[in-house]
Amino acid sequence: MQFRLGDYVPYLLSRAGVSLANNVSRELDQFGVSLPMWRVMAALLDEGEQRLGDLARLTAIELSTLSRIAAAMEARNLVTRRRSGQDARAVLIALTPEGRRKTESIVPRALDWENMAVAGMSEEEICILKGLLHRLYGNVVGPDHLGVIEKTGT
């Protein structure tokens, strides 16, 4: 079996992901948010208020890193953080009205970024690609997080 970097799935994913992330990050600068902040904002817009741990799984951001991001976002009035009434250890994160407005203003550009990434693909190919990426993620993240994958599609 011959190894070819150009056909190696981890390399292909990384190359595409890094290029897309770099392009998106440059555009997000115009909105005054980072790519990880955008992932948090998009997840909260889609799923509503979340426990910090659940938000970490949804966004694939390490918990301690996410805690720092959430603190910075709270300081900028994009999110609120509060203790759960049911479990005082749990921190709940939600978009503020300003955070929701900013997130909704980015969504059209985010859809443009996705369209750019899948340009030239048919709807069927896009559906297959998304299905394969969900399956690949399930393979690499392991069974502990499959409920999150099934629920959120991420």
Segment 50-96, tens digit of pLDDT: 999 999 999 999 999 999 999 999 999 999 999 877 777 789 999 99
pLDDT value of position 144: 57
pLDDT value of position 143: 62
Rounded Cα–Cα distance for residues 125 and 106 (Å): 26
105 pLDDT more than 80: yes
2 pLDDT more than 80: yes
Rounded Cα–Cα distance for residues 85 and 137 (Å): 33
Rounded Cα–Cα distance for residues 150 and 148 (Å): 6
Rounded Cα–Cα distance for residues 68 and 75 (Å): 11
Class of domain 8-117 (CATH, top level): mainly alpha
Q: What is the pTM of this model?
A: 0.85
